[in-house]
Amino acid sequence: MRDMGSAWFWVTPFAALCLTIARIGGVGAWLTGSSRVAFVIGLDRYFPPAFGRVHPRWRTPYVAIITQAPLAALFLLLSVLGKGTTVKRAFLILLDMSLLIYFVPYIYLFVCFMVHSHRRRRDRAERLLVPGGTIGALITGLCGLAITLFAMIVAIIPPPGTPDIWIHEAKLGGGSLLLILLGLFIYWRAKRKRMA
């Protein structure tokens, strides 16, 4: 009688092929998505206008893509520096950095939501469409804020077996702070140019 295991030999390579195709698609989405952000910021004149250029033949934001490559390489190099840093640890640092930066606008949104709902109650201009009214909005905002802060705290916790926790935290916190300050500087500079 034929062994059933040998009849399913193709499942593992097929699954690996599907995962490879999915990862290639994911990389394409991440690369084009982040370059589109730089492209739109170039159109809005927060970045130099060159970022808003489109390649005449390929119709892609080529300046944003070309600029993104050395910046990504620089951050990858910075995350690998340090004693005992492996590719896996560098990937985790970059992933945690992106999570921290990703959650910062959510803190702002939840705080704005609570302030806005409080002002609506005071002005009584329109009815607040949140179950429970102002108290419901306050509870919803506090829950969202607490979950966001909890997710940020979890992202800061180093993985088990990290040889030097302080270097890991310095890379993670310093890199995140650097990117946030860089974004604020770009915004402040462009706003000042517009007002001049």
Domain annotation covers residue 3: no
pLDDT of residue 1: 43
Q: Is the pLDDT of residue 5 over 80?
A: no
Domain annotation covers residue 5: no
Confidence band, pLDDT 50/70/90 cuts, at residue 194 = confident
Q: In this structure, are 72 and 94 located in the same domain? A: no
Question: pLDDT averaged over the chain?
Answer: 82
Q: In this structure, are 191 and 100 located in the same domain? A: yes
Q: Is the pLDDT of residue 3 over 50?
A: yes
pLDDT digits (tens, 9 = 90+) for 154-163: 999 988 888 7
Question: Which residue range(s) make up the domain with 18?
Answer: 11-80
Of 119 and 103, the one with more pLDDT: 103
Q: With contact defined as beta carbons under 8 Å apart, do 79 and 93 qualify?
A: yes
Give 137's contacts (C-beta < 8 A, 6+ positions apart): 113, 114, 117, 128, 130
Q: In the listed set 80, 102, 117, which residue is the last one of a domain according to the structure? A: 80
pLDDT of residue 124: 60
Total of domains in the chain = 2
Q: Is the pLDDT of residue 142 over 70?
A: yes
CA 116 from chain centre, in angstroms, equals 26
- Enter the tokens of residue 28: 């394409």
What is the pLDDT averaged over residues 8-24? 87
Q: With contact defined as beta carbons under 8 Å apart, do 144 and 110 qualify?
A: yes
pLDDT of residue 118: 74
Domain annotation covers residue 6: no
What is the pLDDT averaged over residues 66-73? 83
Q: In this structure, are 181 and 99 located in the same domain? A: yes
pLDDT of residue 14: 92
pLDDT digits (tens, 9 = 90+) for 36-48: 888 888 888 788 8
